[in-house]
Amino acid sequence: MTRDEVVQKARENSARFIRFLYCDNAGIIRGKAVHIDVLPDRLRNGVGLPIAIQALNMLDQLQPIENLGPVGEIRLMPDTSTFHLLPYVPHQAALTCNLVDAEGGPWPLDPRSLLDYHIQRAAARGIGVQAAFENEFTLVTRTPEGQFLPFDQSLAYSSHGMTTAAGFVDDLASTLEVQGLAVEHYHPEAGHGQQELTIHHADAMRAADNQVVFRETVRGTAAKHGLLASFAPKPFPDQPSNGAHIHFSLWDARFITNRLYDPEALYGLTPLARCFIGGVLAHLPALLALTCPSYNSYRRLHQPRSWTSAFTAWGPDNREAALRVASGLWGADARSVNLELKPVDPSCNPYLALAGLIAAGIDGVEREIDPGEPVQTDPALFSNEELAARGIKRLPTNQMEAILALRTDPVMMTALGAELANAYLAVRTSEYAAFRRETTGFEIQHHLLKF
C-alpha cells in the first residue's frame, strides 16, 4: 500500500487519528497518534520520539543507559503495508513502525529492524521463515471494590465456556477479519476466564506485526464489552498460565517447499530441521530472556509437569518438550509440518523473540549442531544422571537466571548487537530488582494490567 493509498483509505473510513505503534524493550506496545490532516506529512517524515524511550521498563522507570538520555531524537517511521482500522475505538486506525535515527537511517536499538536483519541472514542461506504466535489470554472482570476476578469458571474446551464468552469472541473474530488476520481456531482454555484463539501463519515479519495487532485488538475488544483481557503469563497465581507458543516452519526462498519435511527421514525431519532444532536447544536458556522475559513469566515456567516446558528437550508431539515437532494435517504433511517453541509467553517483544529464535537456529545450521535423541516422555521423569547423559538442561527458573544466560551467550549477544543488548539487559534487570522488592500482589496487578 502506498502512502497515498493509506491516506485515502483512512479518509474513506473516517479515521481521525492514526496510531504509529512500536513494541519496546519491556514488551509494552507504545506509540503516538497523528491527526488525519497531518498524516501525509508524517508518513513521509515520521514522528519524533525522545531517544531515551528504549530505556523505559514496564513500570515506566527510566534507566540510566549510556546514549539513551535527554539529548537526541529518533523517529517512528511507519510501514505502510501494516495499515489497519481499529473497529474497537471510534475513528481510529494504526500502522506498525520502525524506529529510525534523526536522519532516517537504521537505529541499532530498533527491534523490528533487528528481526529484518535476521530474516535476511536466513534468506541468504536459502531459508524463508514462517511463524505464528499461539496466544492464550484471560478475560477479567473488576468488582466495585476493585478486585480482579476471572470472567467465568469455565473448564478447558468446554462448550459452556464457548457460550459464556460467545459475544466477545464473535466480536473479536469479526474485528480481526476486518484487519486482515485470518482466524483459525478458538476454544476456552484450562484456566478460569482463559481463552485461546489462533490466527494463520505468515512470514516472520508479518507474524510479529500480527502479534502486535492481535494483542491490541483483544484488549480493545474486551474493553468494549466491559472486560479486561490480560496477556500476563500468570494473571492469577492459582490458575493456569498464558503462553504464546511460536509455531514456525522453514521454507525455500520463494516459500514453495517446506524445508523441514522429508517423508523418508526419521520423524519426517530433514537434516536442516535437525540442525535448526539443535541450535535452538543449545541457546534456549539465553533465548528465554527474549521469549519469556518478564518477572511474572517464571511463575509460569517454574514448575515442571505443567505443560509449559522446563527442560531443553525436543520430541514429536511432546507437549512437555521445549520444542515440539507438530504433526501435519492428514494428506498435507508437506505443507503443514511445523515446529512449536513452547517456552514463549505474550509479555515478549515479538520482534526480539523471533529474531532470537532465527539467530539460534541459524547458528545450529552453520555449526551442524545435533539436537540429540527426541524425548518420548515427560523429561521431568528422568533422573539427573539421565538428563546429563542426554545433554538435557533445566531451563532458568527466574528472570535473573535467564538474563545471566543471555549475558553469557556470545552468539545471542552478537545477534542482538551491542547497543540493543546493553539497553535490553538494563531494562530487564531493573524490572527484576523492582519486583523482587515488592509483594506478590504488586507483581500480579502490574503484569495483569500492563499486558
- Range(s) for CATH 3.30.590.10 in the chain? 117-450
| pLDDT, tens digit, 9 for 90 and up, residues 45-101 | 999 999 999 999 999 999 999 889 888 899 999 999 999 999 999 999 999 999 999
* Among 365, 382, 249, CA closest to 312: 382
Start-end ranges of CATH 3.10.20.70 in the chain? 3-107
Radius of gyration over every alpha carbon of the chain, rounded to an integer in angstroms:
21
Predicted local distance difference test score (pLDDT) of residue 303: 64
In whole angstroms, give the CA distance from residue 286 to residue 281: 10
Name the DSSP letter for residue 352: H
pLDDT score for 333? 67
Cell of 229: 483481557
- Residue 63 DSSP one-character state: P
What CATH number should be reported for the domain whose range is 3-107? Answer: 3.10.20.70
Fold of 117-450: Creatine Kinase; Chain A, domain 2 (3.30.590)
Q: Which of 167, 166, 143, 139 is nearest to 153 (CA)?
A: 139
Instruction: Tell me the residue type at 67.
Output: N
Low-confidence ranges of the chain (pLDDT < 70): 302-308, 329, 331-333
Q: Which residues face 247 on adjacent strands?
A: 132, 340
CB 18 within 8 A of CB 10: yes
